Structure 1
C-alpha cells in the first residue's frame, strides 16, 4: 500500500481521497542524534508529538533523555490497526526495529522538515 501524506491524504490502489478532518493515526520512531535511543509512538497529531519530544515534554522517556529525529513513519486510518502495529514494533527486537528504519530510511534522515505543509 502506498501512502502519500498531504492536506488531503490519499491511499490504496484507487487513490481514494480522505478528507483532512478524518481520523488518522501515525506509528512513528524517533531517535536521538547518536541513534542510541529509539522511541516508538502512536499519535493522531504527529506535528504536536514531534515538538513535544524535541522540547523534552514526553513523560514516557526517562528524565534527561530526548529524541530529536523522526526516522520512521507509517499511516493508519483505524486506531486499532495503529495500536496493533505500534505494539508489534515496540515489542520487536532492537535489531528488527533498526532493520525497519534502515529499509525505509537508510541514511537515518530526519523526516520532520516540511511536516507543517504536508500534514
Structure 2
C-alpha cells in the first residue's frame, strides 16, 4: 500500500505557509524548492515543517481540505505541537 502525505511548508518561523498533499513527499518538497509552484516560489516557502502519513487517499484528501480551511493560528499551533523550533523535517520523511 502506498502512503499519502499531508504536509505544511514554511518560509521561516511564523512566516508564509503552504498546506498540501502528495504521494511522494520528498519529490514534492524538491519541486517546491525548485520553484515549480508559483505560490511557494513567490513567498520563498521551502522548509518542510509538518507532515503526517495516511494509508488512504480519501483520508489524506479530507485532512488536507480540513487544514486548508483552518485559521492561520490553528495551523501554527499544529506545527508548534510537534516542531516548536520550525526545523526542516525532510530527513524524517519515511522512504
Q: TM-score, normalised by structure 2?
A: 0.90
For residues 84 and 66 of structure 2, what CA distance do their matches in structure 1 show? 21
Q: What is the SS of the residue equivalent to 1:66? A: coil
Structure 2 residue runs of 5 or longer lacking an equivalent are none
Matching residue of 1:92: 70
Cα RMSD of the aligned pairs, angstroms, is: 1.6
Matching residue of 2:7: 28
User: Do the aligned residues in 2 keep the contact of 1:56 with 1:65 (CA within 8 Å)?
Assistant: no
User: Which one has the bigger helix percentage?
Assistant: 2
Q: How many residues are treated as equivalent by the alignment? A: 95
C-alpha offsets along residues 37-93 of structure 1, whole Å, 9 cap, x if unaligned?
11000000001100001111024x176333111000100010000000001111000
Which of 1 and 2 has greater Rg?
Answer: 1
For residues 63 and 108 of structure 1, what CA distance do their matches in structure 2 show? 19
